[in-house]
């Protein structure tokens, strides 16, 4: 039995299937850990969501920002962006079944000596605390008042964690950290403005996994989200969004020996060049 963590798929169904063949995925014994952002921007979001739903007994996943965007738009909140590719899900005959299942998926997982979250964790959070905070969001998403939750999802504030935060502000910051974060300011505030490579980051920003006094050290964190970072493997963080959507590759990490498998996404590179992405 093997566990493979796979980075952001984002509707790139054909490369996803090719990667499964590359790693010789056996649904009878192997398990996939998916870092979130199953959907959006790629051309086959509905196919990806249907496949994961059909194989849910062999899949562990966390929600990403694009998955939450899909859920919000499906309930009439947020705006459809020009490069969104979620209409096929919203119009599908089985769309409601898929969306109801999706909103009941976790924001964070722990197991087999690893934790997994789409984007990252704030330095104030231990793994156990982060799991409890994720459960607060999961309760709001899966319950009868999920529309109220999704209606308050969007926004960049507050930017600094406090245990005294309550209500929508508390839940929004948890979601933003776990699904949108790349950088923190050097005095500990969440910064969502810069999305590029490490080398070009403003001097006042540090990547979340290099913030001082992090309380979640000791458990490697598997994440995606940051395609400009690419694959970044060290003792504490295993970032595996290698930018398939942008013409990079789709990556799978076998957890027992940390062997990396990468599938080049040349077709998407040509699309990215043609569209100026």
- Residue ranges and CATH numbers for the domains of the chain are 3-264 (3.60.21.10)
Burial class (CB in 10 A: 0-12, 13-18, 19+), 264: middle
Cα separation, 50 vs 71, in Å, equals 15
Mapped onto helix, strand or coil, the DSSP state of residue 191 is strand
pLDDT(109) > 80: yes
**Eight-state DSSP code of residue 243:** B
Tally of CA atoms within 13 A in the half-sphere of 132 that contains its CB: 6
How confident is the model over 8-12, as a mean pLDDT? 98
Distances (CA, A) of 100 to 46, 138, 142, 146, 147: 14, 13, 8, 10, 12
pLDDT(96) > 60: yes
pLDDT of residue 275: 46
Q: Give the model confidence (pLDDT) of 194-227 as tens digits.
A: 999 999 999 999 999 999 999 998 999 999 999 9
pLDDT(274) > 90: no
Cα 57 off chain centre by? 20
Per-residue pLDDT band for 273 (boundaries 50, 70, 90) equals: very low
Residue spans of beta strands (DSSP E) within 36-160: 59-61, 108-111, 114-117
Cα separation, 85 vs 198, in Å, equals 28
pLDDT(276) > 60: no
pLDDT(153) > 70: yes
pLDDT(28) > 50: yes
- Sequence-distant (≥ 6) Cβ neighbours of residue 169 within 8 angstroms: 157, 158
Burial class (CB in 10 A: 0-12, 13-18, 19+), 257: exposed
């Amino acid at each position: 039995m093997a566990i493979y963590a796979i980075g952001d798929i984002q509707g790139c169904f054909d490369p996803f299937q090719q990667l499964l063949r590359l790693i010789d995925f056996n649904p009878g014994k192997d398990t996939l850990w998916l870092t979130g952002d199953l959907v959006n921007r790629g051309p086959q979001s509905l196919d990806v969501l249907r496949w994961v739903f059909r194989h849910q007994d062999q899949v562990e996943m966390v929600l990403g920002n694009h998955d939450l965007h899909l859920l919000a738009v499906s309930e009439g909140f947020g705006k459809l962006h020009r490069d969104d590719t979620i209409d096929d899900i919203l119009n599908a005959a089985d769309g409601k079944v898929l969306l109801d299942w999706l909103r009941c998926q976790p924001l964070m997982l722990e197991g087999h000596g690893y934790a997994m979250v789409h984007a990252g964790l704030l330095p104030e959070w231990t793994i156990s605390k982060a799991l409890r905070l994720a459960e607060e969001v999961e309760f709001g998403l899966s319950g009868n008042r999920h529309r109220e939750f999704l209606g308050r999802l969007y926004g960049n504030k507050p930017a600094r964690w406090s245990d005294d935060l309550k209500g929508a502000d508390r839940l929004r910051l948890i979601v933003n950290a776990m699904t949108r974060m790349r950088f923190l300011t050097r005095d500990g505030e969440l910064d969502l403005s810069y999305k590029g490579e490490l080398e070009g980051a403003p001097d006042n920003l540090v990547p979340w996994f290099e913030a001082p006094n992090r309380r979640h050290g000791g458990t490697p964190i598997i994440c995606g989200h940051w395609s400009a970072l690419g694959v970044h493997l060290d003792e504490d963080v295993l970032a595996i969004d290698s930018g398939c959507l942008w013409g990079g590759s789709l990556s799978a990490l076998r957890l027992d020996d940390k062997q990396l498998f990468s599938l080049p996404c040349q077709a998407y590179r040509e699309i990215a060049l043609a569209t100026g992405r």
